Amino acid sequence: MNESEIRLPEIDFAADPLPNLHEILADLRAKEPVSLIQFAGKPIWLLNDHETISHFIASDEILSAPDAYDELFATTMGKGLPILRGKEHRRNRGLISRVFFPGKMREYADTFFAEEAEALALSLEGRERIDLVAEFTRPYTFRNIARLLGLPAHDVDRLQDWANRIMHSFVDMESASAAGTEIGDYLLPLIHERRAQPLDDVISLLTQAELDGERLDDEDILGFCRNLFPAAIDTSTNSLGSLLSHVLPDRDLWRDVAHDHDLREAVIQELLRIEPPLVMIPRRATEDTELGGHTLRRGDDIRLCILGAHDDPTAYDEPRQFRIDRKESNFAFGHGEHFCLGTQMARRVIEKGLEVLAGRFPEMMLCDETKVEILGGVLRGPREVWARL
């Protein structure tokens, strides 16, 4: 890392709650597209405008995703897709993508995603005031991901602990590494069991997936599950919570989303732009390069700020306005060869939760006395969403 000045040294983008993150990023972007910031006590480069991120997000040639993820997650997730390169990456991605076809995810949405949403919604009947995050979005997401993988419902608390520790490896790597080992010890016997006696769950489908005569081995499946479980839980929980905070104030929109699939799709797409659940994604410089008036050295730690790109007024008209008529794409699930394979799964989880809540509670509204705060500089979403049913 070179000797450039750290911008806003009083802020740690990894640890601070940052309710005003949009304003912070806008101020930085007005001065420069690339800034040196503090992240988990260390200096890193932040790329913060749409044009720069568009240029680098789909390529590993200068700013490498595998190099960055290898340092961050190799000891916690193992052979996850973000770490793999070349032929191995293409093979594993091809095999895994067969499990996540849109049609399969729609089938899951109409069966057990719907069942979990209806069961939780039923448990809320008769209540006057609830925290939707604690009593719906978080348990709904955890139950769905556990069920998707074919994991026992009674283990959800253990799985939640592992997921939380893994996703905060940038704060406590020792705890995250231990969690990666623990979840591996937990999953490996299940993988062996599903390989011998497959069921209709993702682990079974992964053990049976075949492409050009090749199959995934135990470590391939472990790496994918270690990645899927914590990442899918955080993104879906945060996205659904943020979505509720944006849709509930619009009474007509809230009632309409219960019955209109296309409207739900448009609402989710705009939510992923205005409040992406993952604020920034890691990269590592593979060579010295001049960027935004700074010299980035080989090996420097970099983050592509998805939220910054989505806030850029050169790419989106009135970017801080929640508008469901937008046609522009966004980077919430990555781009190019690193586009997230769990996109369809996450969208279907969010959509079904929204559909069930709006359908069962058409008069639900946010509590006036409790402001929703969307927090986080890496994983971003509301900690609480208080509503009256």
> Which residues does 307 contact at the CB level (< 8 Å), separation at least 6?
21, 22, 25, 275, 276, 279, 280, 380
The predicted structure's pLDDT at residue 213 = 82
Q: For the beta carbon of residue 86, count every other beta carbon within 10 angstroms.
A: 8
CA distance 152 to 146: 7
Go through the chain and tell me how many residues it has: 389
| Domain chopping of the chain, boundaries | 21-388
CA 290 to chain centre: 30
CA distance 185 to 295: 44
The predicted structure's pLDDT at residue 121 = 97
* DSSP state letter for 4: P
Could you tell me which of 182, 180, 150 has the C-alpha nearest to residue 166? 180
The predicted structure's pLDDT at residue 113 = 95
- Which ranges of the chain have pLDDT less than 50? none
Amino acid of residue 157: D
The predicted structure's pLDDT at residue 2 = 57
pLDDT tens for each residue of 48-87: 999 999 999 988 889 988 888 777 666 676 666 667 677 7
The predicted structure's pLDDT at residue 99 = 78
The percent of the chain in helix, strand and coil, each rounded to the nearest 5, is 55, 10, 35
Residue 81 in tokens: 């897709």
SS3 46: strand
Regarding the domain delimited by 21-388, which CATH topology (the fold level of the hierarchy) does it fall under?
A: Cytochrome p450 (1.10.630)
The predicted structure's pLDDT at residue 72 = 67
Q: Residue holding tokens 């069942």?
A: 115
pTM of the model: 0.91
pLDDT tens for each residue of 9-35: 999 999 999 999 999 999 999 999 999
Q: Residue holding tokens 């008209």?
A: 317
